[in-house]
A and B are shown apart, each in its own frame.
Chain A
Amino acid sequence: MLCQHCSQRPATVHIVKQVNNQREEYHLCETCAREQGHLGLEPAFTLPNFSLQQLLSSLLESDPFTGFGGGPAAPRAELRCSFCGLTFRQFKEGGFLGCSHCYEAFASELGPLLRRVQGSDKHVGKAPRRSGGVLRLRKELAQLRAELQEAVSREEYERAAQLRDRIRDLERRIQAGGDGNAVE
Protein backbone atom coordinates (compact mmCIF):
# COMPACT_ATOMS: atom_id res chain seq x y z
CA MET A 1 0.00 0.00 0.00
CA LEU A 2 0.99 3.59 -0.47
CA CYS A 3 2.37 5.75 2.31
CA GLN A 4 -0.27 7.14 4.69
CA HIS A 5 1.34 10.54 4.71
CA CYS A 6 2.23 11.38 1.11
CA SER A 7 0.24 8.74 -0.81
CA GLN A 8 3.08 8.75 -3.34
CA ARG A 9 5.58 6.10 -2.40
CA PRO A 10 5.05 2.56 -1.08
CA ALA A 11 4.76 2.27 2.70
CA THR A 12 7.79 0.29 3.81
CA VAL A 13 8.11 1.48 7.40
CA HIS A 14 5.54 0.13 9.84
CA ILE A 15 5.31 1.57 13.31
CA VAL A 16 3.17 0.41 16.18
CA LYS A 17 2.93 2.82 19.11
CA GLN A 18 1.34 2.58 22.50
CA VAL A 19 -0.24 5.95 23.31
CA ASN A 20 -2.42 6.22 26.46
CA ASN A 21 -3.26 2.52 26.31
CA GLN A 22 -4.30 2.96 22.69
CA ARG A 23 -2.34 1.14 20.05
CA GLU A 24 -1.63 3.28 17.03
CA GLU A 25 -0.23 2.10 13.73
CA TYR A 26 1.61 4.17 11.16
CA HIS A 27 2.55 3.06 7.67
CA LEU A 28 4.96 5.40 5.96
CA CYS A 29 7.46 5.51 3.17
CA GLU A 30 11.08 5.89 4.22
CA THR A 31 11.20 9.55 3.24
CA CYS A 32 8.17 10.51 5.33
CA ALA A 33 9.29 8.31 8.20
CA ARG A 34 12.63 10.09 8.24
CA GLU A 35 11.02 13.52 8.01
CA GLN A 36 8.76 12.72 10.92
CA GLY A 37 11.65 11.43 12.94
CA HIS A 38 10.44 7.87 13.08
CA LEU A 39 13.49 6.22 11.64
CA GLY A 40 16.07 5.30 14.19
CA LEU A 41 13.65 5.57 17.10
CA GLU A 42 11.45 2.61 16.39
CA PRO A 43 12.49 -0.66 14.83
CA ALA A 44 11.78 -0.35 11.14
CA PHE A 45 10.63 -3.48 9.39
CA THR A 46 12.05 -3.55 5.93
CA LEU A 47 11.66 -6.23 3.32
CA PRO A 48 14.30 -8.85 3.83
CA ASN A 49 16.79 -9.54 1.08
CA PHE A 50 17.58 -13.16 0.53
CA SER A 51 19.37 -15.14 -2.14
CA LEU A 52 17.41 -14.62 -5.37
CA GLN A 53 16.17 -11.33 -3.97
CA GLN A 54 19.75 -10.43 -3.24
CA LEU A 55 20.88 -11.41 -6.70
CA LEU A 56 18.06 -9.37 -8.19
CA SER A 57 18.92 -6.24 -6.25
CA SER A 58 22.61 -6.57 -6.97
CA LEU A 59 21.80 -6.85 -10.68
CA LEU A 60 19.49 -3.87 -10.46
CA GLU A 61 22.12 -1.81 -8.69
CA SER A 62 24.73 -2.46 -11.32
CA ASP A 63 25.64 0.24 -13.79
CA PRO A 64 22.80 0.65 -16.30
CA PHE A 65 25.26 0.71 -19.20
CA THR A 66 27.42 -2.22 -18.26
CA GLY A 67 24.95 -4.24 -16.24
CA PHE A 68 22.31 -6.67 -17.41
CA GLY A 69 20.86 -6.19 -20.84
CA GLY A 70 24.18 -5.18 -22.36
CA GLY A 71 23.98 -3.59 -25.77
CA PRO A 72 24.51 0.05 -26.63
CA ALA A 73 23.99 2.75 -24.06
CA ALA A 74 20.28 3.38 -24.38
CA PRO A 75 18.28 5.83 -22.29
CA ARG A 76 16.88 2.97 -20.23
CA ALA A 77 15.92 5.07 -17.27
CA GLU A 78 13.39 6.80 -19.52
CA LEU A 79 11.34 3.65 -20.04
CA ARG A 80 7.93 4.15 -18.48
CA CYS A 81 4.87 1.92 -18.12
CA SER A 82 1.93 3.72 -19.69
CA PHE A 83 -0.57 1.95 -17.46
CA CYS A 84 0.81 2.60 -13.97
CA GLY A 85 3.40 5.28 -14.67
CA LEU A 86 6.31 3.40 -13.10
CA THR A 87 9.64 4.21 -14.70
CA PHE A 88 12.34 1.65 -15.23
CA ARG A 89 14.53 3.66 -12.88
CA GLN A 90 11.93 3.34 -10.13
CA PHE A 91 11.83 -0.41 -10.69
CA LYS A 92 15.60 -0.53 -10.39
CA GLU A 93 15.43 1.38 -7.12
CA GLY A 94 12.60 -0.55 -5.52
CA GLY A 95 12.91 -4.02 -7.07
CA PHE A 96 9.15 -4.23 -7.63
CA LEU A 97 7.19 -3.74 -10.82
CA GLY A 98 4.20 -1.41 -10.66
CA CYS A 99 1.60 -3.48 -12.49
CA SER A 100 1.27 -6.43 -14.83
CA HIS A 101 1.65 -4.15 -17.88
CA CYS A 102 5.16 -3.24 -16.75
CA TYR A 103 6.23 -6.67 -18.04
CA GLU A 104 5.48 -5.50 -21.60
CA ALA A 105 6.73 -1.97 -21.08
CA PHE A 106 10.10 -3.19 -19.81
CA ALA A 107 10.20 -6.40 -21.86
CA SER A 108 13.56 -5.64 -23.49
CA GLU A 109 15.20 -5.21 -20.09
CA LEU A 110 13.35 -7.90 -18.20
CA GLY A 111 14.25 -10.74 -20.56
CA PRO A 112 17.98 -10.68 -19.79
CA LEU A 113 17.27 -9.95 -16.12
CA LEU A 114 15.00 -12.99 -15.80
CA ARG A 115 17.56 -15.19 -17.52
CA ARG A 116 20.15 -14.12 -14.97
CA VAL A 117 17.92 -14.40 -11.90
CA GLN A 118 15.66 -17.33 -12.80
CA GLY A 119 17.82 -19.09 -15.36
CA SER A 120 15.02 -18.80 -17.90
CA ASP A 121 12.68 -16.24 -19.38
CA LYS A 122 9.95 -18.60 -20.54
CA HIS A 123 7.13 -19.99 -18.48
CA VAL A 124 6.32 -23.67 -18.55
CA GLY A 125 3.55 -25.00 -16.41
CA LYS A 126 0.01 -24.14 -15.53
CA ALA A 127 -1.92 -21.60 -17.56
CA PRO A 128 -5.32 -20.13 -16.79
CA ARG A 129 -8.07 -22.16 -18.39
CA ARG A 130 -9.77 -19.10 -19.80
CA SER A 131 -6.84 -17.44 -21.54
CA GLY A 132 -4.93 -20.59 -22.15
CA GLY A 133 -6.94 -22.71 -24.59
CA VAL A 134 -4.15 -22.94 -27.12
CA LEU A 135 -1.46 -22.95 -24.44
CA ARG A 136 -3.00 -25.93 -22.76
CA LEU A 137 -3.36 -27.75 -26.07
CA ARG A 138 0.28 -27.07 -26.89
CA LYS A 139 1.36 -28.54 -23.62
CA GLU A 140 -0.76 -31.61 -24.11
CA LEU A 141 0.70 -31.93 -27.59
CA ALA A 142 4.25 -31.84 -26.29
CA GLN A 143 3.40 -34.54 -23.80
CA LEU A 144 1.74 -36.75 -26.40
CA ARG A 145 4.76 -36.42 -28.68
CA ALA A 146 7.03 -37.57 -25.87
CA GLU A 147 4.73 -40.51 -25.21
CA LEU A 148 4.73 -41.36 -28.90
CA GLN A 149 8.50 -41.46 -28.98
CA GLU A 150 8.54 -43.75 -26.00
CA ALA A 151 5.91 -46.02 -27.52
CA VAL A 152 7.90 -46.28 -30.76
CA SER A 153 11.13 -47.01 -28.91
CA ARG A 154 9.35 -49.79 -27.03
CA GLU A 155 7.88 -51.07 -30.28
CA GLU A 156 4.32 -50.64 -28.98
CA TYR A 157 2.93 -49.92 -32.42
CA GLU A 158 -0.74 -50.14 -31.61
CA ARG A 159 -0.38 -47.54 -28.89
CA ALA A 160 1.78 -45.40 -31.16
CA ALA A 161 -0.96 -45.37 -33.80
CA GLN A 162 -3.51 -44.24 -31.24
CA LEU A 163 -1.18 -41.50 -30.06
CA ARG A 164 -0.62 -40.36 -33.64
CA ASP A 165 -4.36 -39.94 -34.13
CA ARG A 166 -4.67 -37.88 -30.98
CA ILE A 167 -1.71 -35.73 -32.00
CA ARG A 168 -3.27 -35.01 -35.40
CA ASP A 169 -6.53 -34.10 -33.73
CA LEU A 170 -4.76 -31.73 -31.35
CA GLU A 171 -2.80 -30.11 -34.17
CA ARG A 172 -6.06 -29.45 -36.00
CA ARG A 173 -7.54 -27.84 -32.91
CA ILE A 174 -4.50 -25.65 -32.36
CA GLN A 175 -4.71 -24.54 -36.01
CA ALA A 176 -8.33 -23.62 -35.40
CA GLY A 177 -7.28 -21.35 -32.56
CA GLY A 178 -7.97 -23.71 -29.72
CA ASP A 179 -10.95 -23.89 -27.52
CA GLY A 180 -10.83 -23.57 -23.79
CA ASN A 181 -13.52 -26.16 -23.14
CA ALA A 182 -11.96 -28.86 -25.25
CA VAL A 183 -9.41 -29.86 -22.66
CA GLU A 184 -10.04 -30.41 -19.05
Chain B
Amino acid sequence: MPWNRLVSQPQTRWTAATGPDSDVVLSSRVRLARNLEDFPFPHRMNERQARDLIRQVEAGIREVNLMGVCPPVELYRLDDTPYLDRQVLVEKHLISRELAQDARGRAVAISEDEAVSIMVNEEDHLRIQVLAPGLDLYSAWELGSKVDDALEAKLPYAFHKTRGYLTACPTNVGTGLRASVMVHLPALVMTNQAGRLFNTLGQFGLAIRGYFGEGTEPIGNIYQISNQITLGRSEEEILDHLQSVVQQVIGHERRAREHLARQMKAQLEDRVGRAYGILTGARILSSEEAMRLLSDVRLGVEMGILKGVEARTLNELMIACRPAFLQKLAGKELSPFERDLRRAALIRERLVA
Protein backbone atom coordinates (compact mmCIF):
# COMPACT_ATOMS: atom_id res chain seq x y z
CA MET B 1 0.00 0.00 0.00
CA PRO B 2 1.36 3.47 -0.77
CA TRP B 3 2.64 5.14 2.37
CA ASN B 4 0.40 8.12 1.90
CA ARG B 5 -2.74 6.01 1.82
CA LEU B 6 -1.59 4.14 4.90
CA VAL B 7 -1.30 7.35 6.91
CA SER B 8 -4.41 9.09 5.63
CA GLN B 9 -7.21 6.58 6.07
CA PRO B 10 -8.66 5.90 9.51
CA GLN B 11 -9.86 2.40 8.63
CA THR B 12 -7.58 -0.35 9.76
CA ARG B 13 -7.96 -4.07 10.49
CA TRP B 14 -9.09 -3.74 14.10
CA THR B 15 -11.62 -0.98 13.46
CA ALA B 16 -13.86 -3.48 11.63
CA ALA B 17 -15.76 -4.02 14.92
CA THR B 18 -16.40 -7.66 14.09
CA GLY B 19 -15.12 -10.68 15.95
CA PRO B 20 -16.17 -12.42 19.16
CA ASP B 21 -17.41 -10.36 22.12
CA SER B 22 -17.18 -7.11 20.19
CA ASP B 23 -19.79 -5.57 22.49
CA VAL B 24 -16.98 -5.18 25.04
CA VAL B 25 -13.74 -6.00 23.23
CA LEU B 26 -12.37 -3.63 20.59
CA SER B 27 -9.31 -5.60 19.56
CA SER B 28 -6.83 -8.32 20.42
CA ARG B 29 -3.14 -8.01 19.87
CA VAL B 30 -0.25 -10.44 19.91
CA ARG B 31 3.30 -9.19 19.82
CA LEU B 32 6.43 -11.31 19.46
CA ALA B 33 9.85 -9.88 20.32
CA ARG B 34 12.68 -11.34 18.23
CA ASN B 35 16.34 -10.47 17.80
CA LEU B 36 19.10 -11.46 15.42
CA GLU B 37 22.37 -12.99 16.50
CA ASP B 38 25.52 -10.98 15.98
CA PHE B 39 23.97 -7.53 16.06
CA PRO B 40 23.90 -5.49 19.25
CA PHE B 41 20.37 -4.71 20.45
CA PRO B 42 18.92 -1.54 18.85
CA HIS B 43 19.76 0.84 21.71
CA ARG B 44 23.45 -0.04 21.19
CA MET B 45 23.45 0.08 17.39
CA ASN B 46 24.94 2.72 15.18
CA GLU B 47 23.05 3.81 12.08
CA ARG B 48 25.11 1.65 9.72
CA GLN B 49 24.37 -1.51 11.71
CA ALA B 50 20.71 -0.54 11.87
CA ARG B 51 20.55 -0.18 8.10
CA ASP B 52 22.41 -3.48 7.57
CA LEU B 53 19.86 -5.17 9.74
CA ILE B 54 16.94 -3.67 7.84
CA ARG B 55 18.44 -5.05 4.61
CA GLN B 56 18.50 -8.53 6.14
CA VAL B 57 14.94 -8.14 7.33
CA GLU B 58 13.91 -7.35 3.76
CA ALA B 59 14.91 -10.88 2.79
CA GLY B 60 12.73 -12.16 5.61
CA ILE B 61 9.79 -10.07 4.40
CA ARG B 62 10.21 -11.51 0.90
CA GLU B 63 9.91 -14.96 2.44
CA VAL B 64 6.74 -13.94 4.30
CA ASN B 65 5.28 -12.79 0.97
CA LEU B 66 6.50 -15.89 -0.86
CA MET B 67 4.83 -18.17 1.66
CA GLY B 68 1.68 -16.09 1.45
CA VAL B 69 0.86 -16.35 5.15
CA CYS B 70 -0.98 -13.03 5.01
CA PRO B 71 -1.86 -10.34 2.44
CA PRO B 72 1.29 -8.77 0.90
CA VAL B 73 3.60 -7.09 3.38
CA GLU B 74 5.46 -3.93 2.46
CA LEU B 75 8.48 -2.51 4.27
CA TYR B 76 8.71 1.23 4.89
CA ARG B 77 11.95 2.86 6.04
CA LEU B 78 11.04 5.49 8.57
CA ASP B 79 14.15 7.70 8.31
CA ASP B 80 12.66 10.29 6.02
CA THR B 81 9.03 10.03 6.97
CA PRO B 82 7.39 13.10 8.52
CA TYR B 83 6.95 13.00 12.28
CA LEU B 84 3.22 13.57 11.83
CA ASP B 85 2.83 10.51 9.59
CA ARG B 86 4.48 8.30 12.19
CA GLN B 87 2.17 9.68 14.84
CA VAL B 88 -0.79 8.68 12.67
CA LEU B 89 0.49 5.09 12.70
CA VAL B 90 0.66 5.31 16.50
CA GLU B 91 -2.93 6.55 16.55
CA LYS B 92 -3.91 3.54 14.40
CA HIS B 93 -2.05 1.29 16.88
CA LEU B 94 0.17 -0.02 14.09
CA ILE B 95 3.43 1.12 15.67
CA SER B 96 4.51 2.06 19.19
CA ARG B 97 5.09 5.57 20.45
CA GLU B 98 8.67 4.54 21.02
CA LEU B 99 9.24 3.67 17.37
CA ALA B 100 7.63 6.90 16.19
CA GLN B 101 9.82 9.10 18.37
CA ASP B 102 13.17 8.22 16.84
CA ALA B 103 13.00 7.18 13.18
CA ARG B 104 16.72 6.86 12.52
CA GLY B 105 17.61 3.41 11.22
CA ARG B 106 14.13 2.14 11.88
CA ALA B 107 11.47 0.60 9.68
CA VAL B 108 8.05 -0.96 9.79
CA ALA B 109 6.57 -3.63 7.56
CA ILE B 110 2.79 -3.66 7.27
CA SER B 111 0.47 -6.09 5.53
CA GLU B 112 -2.04 -4.84 2.98
CA ASP B 113 -4.95 -5.50 5.36
CA GLU B 114 -3.04 -3.86 8.26
CA ALA B 115 -3.45 -6.95 10.43
CA VAL B 116 0.31 -7.57 10.60
CA SER B 117 2.91 -4.95 11.41
CA ILE B 118 6.55 -5.71 12.02
CA MET B 119 8.52 -3.01 13.76
CA VAL B 120 12.23 -3.06 12.99
CA ASN B 121 14.82 -1.74 15.46
CA GLU B 122 12.40 -0.69 18.14
CA GLU B 123 13.43 -1.97 21.61
CA ASP B 124 14.18 -5.30 19.93
CA HIS B 125 15.29 -5.94 16.36
CA LEU B 126 11.86 -7.27 15.46
CA ARG B 127 8.49 -6.80 17.03
CA ILE B 128 5.97 -8.88 15.12
CA GLN B 129 2.49 -7.62 15.87
CA VAL B 130 -0.89 -8.97 14.83
CA LEU B 131 -4.07 -7.02 15.48
CA ALA B 132 -7.53 -8.54 15.23
CA PRO B 133 -10.97 -7.11 15.94
CA GLY B 134 -12.85 -8.54 18.93
CA LEU B 135 -11.57 -11.17 21.35
CA ASP B 136 -9.52 -13.28 18.98
CA LEU B 137 -6.18 -13.99 20.64
CA TYR B 138 -5.70 -17.46 19.22
CA SER B 139 -6.05 -16.56 15.57
CA ALA B 140 -3.80 -13.54 16.13
CA TRP B 141 -1.21 -15.84 17.69
CA GLU B 142 -1.55 -18.39 14.91
CA LEU B 143 -0.96 -15.75 12.25
CA GLY B 144 1.88 -14.13 14.22
CA SER B 145 3.55 -17.48 14.62
CA LYS B 146 3.36 -18.17 10.88
CA VAL B 147 4.91 -14.80 10.09
CA ASP B 148 7.56 -15.62 12.70
CA ASP B 149 8.28 -18.98 11.01
CA ALA B 150 8.68 -17.34 7.61
CA LEU B 151 11.04 -14.67 8.98
CA GLU B 152 13.03 -17.26 10.88
CA ALA B 153 13.66 -19.20 7.68
CA LYS B 154 15.78 -16.26 6.49
CA LEU B 155 17.00 -14.63 9.70
CA PRO B 156 19.34 -16.08 12.33
CA TYR B 157 17.30 -15.54 15.48
CA ALA B 158 19.00 -15.16 18.84
CA PHE B 159 17.64 -18.17 20.69
CA HIS B 160 19.03 -19.81 23.81
CA LYS B 161 18.16 -23.38 24.77
CA THR B 162 17.12 -22.52 28.33
CA ARG B 163 16.28 -18.80 28.08
CA GLY B 164 14.31 -18.96 24.84
CA TYR B 165 14.08 -15.97 22.51
CA LEU B 166 16.58 -13.40 23.76
CA THR B 167 15.41 -9.82 24.15
CA ALA B 168 16.91 -6.47 25.08
CA CYS B 169 14.95 -6.35 28.31
CA PRO B 170 14.80 -9.43 30.56
CA THR B 171 11.07 -8.80 31.09
CA ASN B 172 10.40 -10.04 27.53
CA VAL B 173 12.76 -13.02 27.34
CA GLY B 174 11.50 -16.56 26.75
CA THR B 175 8.48 -16.55 24.51
CA GLY B 176 8.86 -12.84 23.73
CA LEU B 177 5.07 -12.88 23.73
CA ARG B 178 2.99 -9.96 24.88
CA ALA B 179 -0.69 -10.52 24.27
CA SER B 180 -3.20 -7.80 25.00
CA VAL B 181 -6.88 -7.16 24.73
CA MET B 182 -8.45 -3.73 24.40
CA VAL B 183 -11.69 -3.56 26.36
CA HIS B 184 -14.39 -0.92 26.77
CA LEU B 185 -15.53 -0.91 30.41
CA PRO B 186 -17.86 2.06 30.93
CA ALA B 187 -20.36 0.25 33.16
CA LEU B 188 -17.66 -1.00 35.53
CA VAL B 189 -16.33 2.56 35.76
CA MET B 190 -19.80 4.05 36.31
CA THR B 191 -20.58 1.55 39.05
CA ASN B 192 -17.21 2.15 40.76
CA GLN B 193 -16.08 -1.44 40.33
CA ALA B 194 -13.18 -0.77 37.99
CA GLY B 195 -10.55 0.06 40.59
CA ARG B 196 -11.10 -3.14 42.54
CA LEU B 197 -11.08 -5.21 39.38
CA PHE B 198 -7.81 -3.68 38.20
CA ASN B 199 -6.16 -4.51 41.52
CA THR B 200 -7.24 -8.11 41.14
CA LEU B 201 -5.71 -8.31 37.67
CA GLY B 202 -2.29 -7.61 39.15
CA GLN B 203 -2.67 -10.64 41.39
CA PHE B 204 -3.30 -12.72 38.28
CA GLY B 205 0.00 -11.58 36.80
CA LEU B 206 -1.73 -9.33 34.28
CA ALA B 207 -1.18 -5.64 33.64
CA ILE B 208 -3.79 -3.04 32.88
CA ARG B 209 -2.82 -0.07 30.79
CA GLY B 210 -4.23 2.93 28.99
CA TYR B 211 -5.40 3.32 25.40
CA PHE B 212 -1.90 3.72 23.98
CA GLY B 213 -0.27 1.05 26.12
CA GLU B 214 2.44 1.26 28.70
CA GLY B 215 2.53 4.46 30.70
CA THR B 216 -0.53 6.02 29.09
CA GLU B 217 -3.83 7.14 30.55
CA PRO B 218 -7.12 5.43 29.84
CA ILE B 219 -9.12 7.31 27.22
CA GLY B 220 -12.88 6.90 26.90
CA ASN B 221 -13.09 3.99 29.38
CA ILE B 222 -10.85 1.89 27.17
CA TYR B 223 -8.20 -0.27 28.78
CA GLN B 224 -5.58 -2.77 27.64
CA ILE B 225 -5.17 -5.97 29.60
CA SER B 226 -1.97 -7.91 28.93
CA ASN B 227 0.24 -10.67 30.26
CA GLN B 228 3.39 -9.75 32.17
CA ILE B 229 5.27 -13.04 32.44
CA THR B 230 6.97 -14.20 29.25
CA LEU B 231 9.28 -16.93 30.60
CA GLY B 232 8.51 -20.37 31.98
CA ARG B 233 5.06 -20.64 30.41
CA SER B 234 4.22 -21.72 26.91
CA GLU B 235 2.47 -19.39 24.48
CA GLU B 236 -0.72 -21.44 24.82
CA GLU B 237 -0.63 -21.20 28.61
CA ILE B 238 -0.09 -17.45 28.45
CA LEU B 239 -2.98 -17.01 26.00
CA ASP B 240 -5.31 -19.38 27.91
CA HIS B 241 -4.69 -17.46 31.10
CA LEU B 242 -5.29 -14.05 29.54
CA GLN B 243 -8.32 -15.30 27.62
CA SER B 244 -9.99 -16.75 30.71
CA VAL B 245 -9.40 -13.65 32.82
CA VAL B 246 -10.61 -11.34 30.05
CA GLN B 247 -13.74 -13.46 29.70
CA GLN B 248 -14.43 -12.90 33.37
CA VAL B 249 -13.90 -9.17 32.94
CA ILE B 250 -16.34 -9.21 30.02
CA GLY B 251 -18.85 -11.03 32.23
CA HIS B 252 -18.51 -8.40 34.97
CA GLU B 253 -18.95 -5.57 32.48
CA ARG B 254 -22.05 -7.18 30.97
CA ARG B 255 -23.58 -7.72 34.39
CA ALA B 256 -22.89 -4.10 35.31
CA ARG B 257 -24.58 -3.01 32.07
CA GLU B 258 -27.61 -5.18 32.83
CA HIS B 259 -27.75 -3.70 36.29
CA LEU B 260 -27.69 -0.18 34.85
CA ALA B 261 -30.34 -1.07 32.27
CA ARG B 262 -32.59 -2.42 35.04
CA GLN B 263 -32.00 0.08 37.81
CA MET B 264 -31.16 3.28 35.97
CA LYS B 265 -32.74 2.93 32.57
CA ALA B 266 -33.77 6.57 32.22
CA GLN B 267 -30.43 7.95 33.41
CA LEU B 268 -28.56 5.64 31.05
CA GLU B 269 -30.66 6.58 28.03
CA ASP B 270 -30.32 10.22 28.98
CA ARG B 271 -26.56 9.94 29.16
CA VAL B 272 -26.29 8.24 25.78
CA GLY B 273 -28.72 10.67 24.18
CA ARG B 274 -26.92 13.71 25.57
CA ALA B 275 -23.57 12.43 24.33
CA TYR B 276 -25.02 11.89 20.87
CA GLY B 277 -26.60 15.34 21.01
CA ILE B 278 -23.37 17.09 21.89
CA LEU B 279 -21.32 15.15 19.37
CA THR B 280 -23.73 15.98 16.57
CA GLY B 281 -24.31 19.57 17.66
CA ALA B 282 -21.03 20.85 19.06
CA ARG B 283 -18.80 23.17 17.05
CA ILE B 284 -15.74 22.94 19.33
CA LEU B 285 -14.63 19.61 20.78
CA SER B 286 -11.46 18.86 22.71
CA SER B 287 -9.86 15.45 22.26
CA GLU B 288 -10.66 14.52 25.84
CA GLU B 289 -14.33 15.50 25.60
CA ALA B 290 -14.74 13.77 22.25
CA MET B 291 -13.33 10.49 23.51
CA ARG B 292 -15.47 10.63 26.64
CA LEU B 293 -18.66 11.25 24.66
CA LEU B 294 -17.74 8.66 22.04
CA SER B 295 -17.50 6.16 24.90
CA ASP B 296 -21.06 7.01 25.99
CA VAL B 297 -22.34 6.68 22.44
CA ARG B 298 -20.45 3.41 22.07
CA LEU B 299 -22.12 2.09 25.18
CA GLY B 300 -25.48 3.09 23.70
CA VAL B 301 -24.67 1.20 20.49
CA GLU B 302 -23.32 -1.85 22.33
CA MET B 303 -26.45 -2.02 24.51
CA GLY B 304 -28.85 -1.43 21.66
CA ILE B 305 -30.07 1.88 23.12
CA LEU B 306 -28.87 3.89 20.14
CA LYS B 307 -29.74 2.67 16.65
CA GLY B 308 -28.32 3.79 13.35
CA VAL B 309 -24.71 4.28 14.47
CA GLU B 310 -22.20 1.59 13.64
CA ALA B 311 -19.45 0.53 16.00
CA ARG B 312 -16.94 0.64 13.15
CA THR B 313 -17.75 4.32 12.59
CA LEU B 314 -16.97 4.97 16.26
CA ASN B 315 -13.69 3.08 15.98
CA GLU B 316 -12.65 5.05 12.92
CA LEU B 317 -13.62 8.30 14.64
CA MET B 318 -11.40 7.41 17.58
CA ILE B 319 -8.50 7.41 15.13
CA ALA B 320 -9.69 10.25 12.92
CA CYS B 321 -10.17 12.76 15.74
CA ARG B 322 -6.68 12.32 17.24
CA PRO B 323 -4.33 15.30 16.81
CA ALA B 324 -1.94 13.85 14.22
CA PHE B 325 -4.68 12.43 12.05
CA LEU B 326 -6.61 15.73 12.02
CA GLN B 327 -3.48 17.56 10.92
CA LYS B 328 -2.74 14.94 8.28
CA LEU B 329 -6.27 15.32 6.98
CA ALA B 330 -5.91 19.10 6.91
CA GLY B 331 -2.54 18.83 5.19
CA LYS B 332 -1.01 21.33 7.60
CA GLU B 333 -0.15 21.99 11.21
CA LEU B 334 -3.12 23.07 13.32
CA SER B 335 -3.30 24.94 16.59
CA PRO B 336 -5.19 23.17 19.38
CA PHE B 337 -8.17 25.46 18.78
CA GLU B 338 -8.20 24.74 15.04
CA ARG B 339 -8.08 21.04 15.87
CA ASP B 340 -11.07 21.37 18.20
CA LEU B 341 -13.05 23.03 15.39
CA ARG B 342 -12.12 20.39 12.83
CA ARG B 343 -12.70 17.56 15.28
CA ALA B 344 -16.24 18.75 15.93
CA ALA B 345 -16.93 19.15 12.21
CA LEU B 346 -15.58 15.69 11.39
CA ILE B 347 -17.55 13.92 14.10
CA ARG B 348 -20.75 15.77 13.20
CA GLU B 349 -20.36 14.86 9.56
CA ARG B 350 -19.68 11.16 10.23
CA LEU B 351 -22.38 10.69 12.87
CA VAL B 352 -25.15 12.50 11.05
CA ALA B 353 -24.44 10.74 7.74
Report A's interface with B, CB cutoff 8 A: 1-2, 4, 7, 10-11, 14, 16, 18, 23, 25, 27, 45, 47-53, 56, 83-84, 86, 94-100, 103-104, 110, 113-114, 117-132, 135
CB distance from B180 to the nearest CB of A (A): 13
CB distance from A93 to the nearest CB of B (A): 13
Count B-side interface residues using an 8 Å CB cutoff.
63
Which residues does chain A contribute within 8 Å of B177, judged by CB atoms? 125
Question: CA A49 – CA B102 in complex, angstroms?
Answer: 19
CB distance from A8 to the nearest CB of B (A): 10
Q: Which of B43, B121, B157, B231 contacts A123 (CB 8 A)?
A: B231
Q: Digitize B221-234: 1 where CB-to-A-CB distance is under 8 Å, 0 elsewhere.
A: 00000001111111
Question: Are B233's CB and A128's CB within 8 A?
Answer: no
Instruction: From known contacts A27-B102, A51-B202, A100-B35, infer whether A118 and B174 are also in contact, taking CB-CB under 8 Å.
Output: yes
Question: CA A50 – CA B209 in complex, angstroms?
Answer: 9
Q: Which of B41, B97, B106, B170 contacts A56 (CB 8 A)?
A: B170
Which residues does chain B contribute within 8 Å of A16, judged by CB atoms? 83
Instruction: From known contacts A48-B214, A125-B233, A126-B175, infer whether A23 and B157 are also in contact, taking CB-CB under 8 Å.
Output: no
Question: CA A134 – CA B125 in complex, angstroms?
Answer: 26
Q: Which of A50, A100, A122 contacts B37 (CB 8 A)?
A: A100
Within 8 A of A (CB), among B173-218: 173-175, 177, 202, 207, 209, 214-215
Within 8 A of A (CB), among B5-45: 35, 37-45
Which residues does chain B contribute within 8 Å of A98, judged by CB atoms? 40-41, 44
The tally of CB-CB contacts under 8 A between chains A and B is 164
Report B's interface with A, CB cutoff 8 A: 35, 37-47, 50, 82-83, 97-98, 101-106, 121, 123, 145, 148-149, 152-153, 157-166, 168-171, 173-175, 177, 202, 207, 209, 214-215, 228-236, 333
Question: Are B170's CB and A1's CB within 8 A?
Answer: no
Residue of B39, B149, B159, B202 with highest tally of chain A CB at under 10 A: B159
Question: Are B232's CB and A123's CB within 8 A?
Answer: yes
Which residues does chain B contribute within 8 Å of A127, judged by CB atoms? 159, 164
Question: CA A95 – CA B162 in complex, angstroms?
Answer: 21
Question: Are A84's CB and B159's CB within 8 A?
Answer: no
Question: Are A114's CB and B173's CB within 8 A?
Answer: yes
Instruction: From known contacts A56-B171, A110-B170, A123-B231, infer whether A1 and B43 are also in contact, taking CB-CB under 8 Å.
Output: yes
Question: Are B50's CB and A1's CB within 8 A?
Answer: yes
Q: Which of B43, B170, B233 contacts A10 (CB 8 A)?
A: B43
Question: Are A118's CB and B171's CB within 8 A?
Answer: yes
